[in-house]
């Protein structure tokens, strides 16, 4: 009898959690997480373009958040970003637990793994927003190189870093392929307007390719820094974009990548409205 009562309580709790995850207010807040991510990518793209033409800047998530913090409404925007990203992380976790029930087992597994990955990404963003909001924001490039140096000292540290680099490269390729194939449209409820559909598709196509290139470069930088035992060169997206600038025609390449990241950001903002949730 007691066992049945516990099972019923657990089932009721799970039902309540699922209902909360599907509530209108929660879903709207979670959708805002995509818009926040989009705004950050637009800022990173703009910073990258400024970097291409010689302005000293930090072209990554930390740099974008630092710019938000400097504005008159900085604290409000940072806490808004925290709330939206935390809600989206929780929504993705709810998909891991309750979602994709009608899918085939193999498809369900991949979808749940993807949702879990997204949950980690947005949870990390929420933590970063809260850190900047309370005045503890850090230079993400320096943090990455410091973390890389510490991991490199471990017995299997270099192998782990190479695996991280390979993972980022593979993720970058997946993003680029998704953009080329426009397979991202499967997750959208596109509007009836043909012009608006074309704009969203175009932003997604260019944006996913640019995001894929950026991730590929970051992964490559991880591997090179590890093989050369120079962890100070593993500075994440900021370091990868600055490395592009130093190449032949780097100004033009970096400008194109920056423009592509802006497109990805605008796509993410549109996704907030049209993604299936």
Contacts of 123 (CB under 8 A, 6+ apart): 85, 86, 89
In this predicted structure, what is the pLDDT of residue 91? 92
Could you tell me the CA-to-CA distances from 48 to 80, 200, 234, 241, 245 in Å, in that order?
A: 24, 22, 18, 7, 9
Checking if the pLDDT of 217 tops 60, the result is yes
Closest to 238 (Cα-Cα) out of 48, 78, 55: 48
What residues make up the domain containing 146? 2-274
Closest to 92 (Cα-Cα) out of 47, 33, 10, 136: 33
For the stretch 133-170, pLDDT in tens is 888 766 555 566 666 667 767 777 778 888 888 999 99
CA angle 115, 117, 122 (to 5 degrees): 90
Per the structure, how many domains does the chain have? 1
Q: Around Cβ 188, how many Cβ atoms within 10 Å?
A: 18
Which tokens is 39 given? 């705004």
For the stretch 237-274, pLDDT in tens is 877 888 888 888 889 999 999 999 999 999 999 999 99
Number of H helices, E strands in the chain: 10, 0
When comparing pLDDT for 86 and 22, which is higher?
86
Which tokens is 221 given? 């930088």
pTM across the whole model: 0.83
Taking residues 209-219, what's their average pLDDT?
93
In this predicted structure, what is the pLDDT of residue 31? 93
Percent of the chain with pLDDT over 70: 84
Q: In whole angstroms, give the CA distance from residue 35 to residue 272.
A: 5
Closest to 58 (Cα-Cα) out of 242, 200, 217: 242
When comparing pLDDT for 13 and 107, which is higher?
107
């Amino acid at each position: 009898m007691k066992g049945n009562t516990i099972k019923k309580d657990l089932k009721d709790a799970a039902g309540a959690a699922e209902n909360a995850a599907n509530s209108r207010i929660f879903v709207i807040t979670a959708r805002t997480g995509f818009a926040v991510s989009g705004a950050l990518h637009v800022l990173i793209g703009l910073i990258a373009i400024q970097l291409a033409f010689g302005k000293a800047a930090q072209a990554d998530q930390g740099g974008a958040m630092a710019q938000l913090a400097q504005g008159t409404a900085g604290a409000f925007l940072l806490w808004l970003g925290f709330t939206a990203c935390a809600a989206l992380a929780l929504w993705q976790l709810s998909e891991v637990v309750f979602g994709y029930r009608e899918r085939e087992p193999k498809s369900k597994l991949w979808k749940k793994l993807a949702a879990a990955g997204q949950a980690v990404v947005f949870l990390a963003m929420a933590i970063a927003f809260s850190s900047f909001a309370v005045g503890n924001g850090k230079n993400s490039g320096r943090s990455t190189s410091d973390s890389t140096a510490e991991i490199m000292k471990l017995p299997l540290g270099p192998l782990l870093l190479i695996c991280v680099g390979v993972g980022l490269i593979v993720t970058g390729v997946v993003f680029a392929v998704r953009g080329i194939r426009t397979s991202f449209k499967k997750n959208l409820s596109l509007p009836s307007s043909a012009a608006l559909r074309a704009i969203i598709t175009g932003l997604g196509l260019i944006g996913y390719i640019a995001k894929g290139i950026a991730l590929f470069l970051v992964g490559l930088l991880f591997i090179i820094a590890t093989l050369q035992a120079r962890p100070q060169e593993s500075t994440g997206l900021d370091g990868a974009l600055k490395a592009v600038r130093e190449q032949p025609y780097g100004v033009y390449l970096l400008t194109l990548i920056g423009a592509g990241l802006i497109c990805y950001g605008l796509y993410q903002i549109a996704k907030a409205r049209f993604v299936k949730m």
